[in-house]
Amino acid sequence: MDPWERSDPNLPVLAGYVVKRVPGFQARKGYLCPACHGEIPPGAGHVVAWPEAQAGERRHWHRHCWRIACRRGRIA
């Protein structure tokens, strides 16, 4: 099964977004978290989320930053 096809039921969901967990062993590149602007280094597990039907808008988040955004009910 394609890892992008699996959803993690333990991750909080934000209405209108697709959310997937990226395990550390699959995180081969570094990213900047859009919430805290901190680095997500290669090898660090994190979350990738994007608006439904807009996979080109994928953003990589620290797990805790994604949880905070979901509690607030918005990503900005």
- d(Cα 30, Cα 26) in Å, to the nearest integer? 11
pLDDT mean over 2-12: 63
Residue 1: predicted pLDDT: 40
Question: For the segment 20-53, what is each residue's pLDDT rounded down to a tens digit?
Answer: 999 999 999 999 999 999 999 999 999 999 999 9
Residues in the chain, overall count = 76
- For the residues 3-14, what does the mean pLDDT come to? 68
Q: Which residues span the domain enclosing 41?
A: 3-72
Number of domains in the chain: 1
Do the beta carbons of residue 35 and residue 60 sit within 8 Å?
no
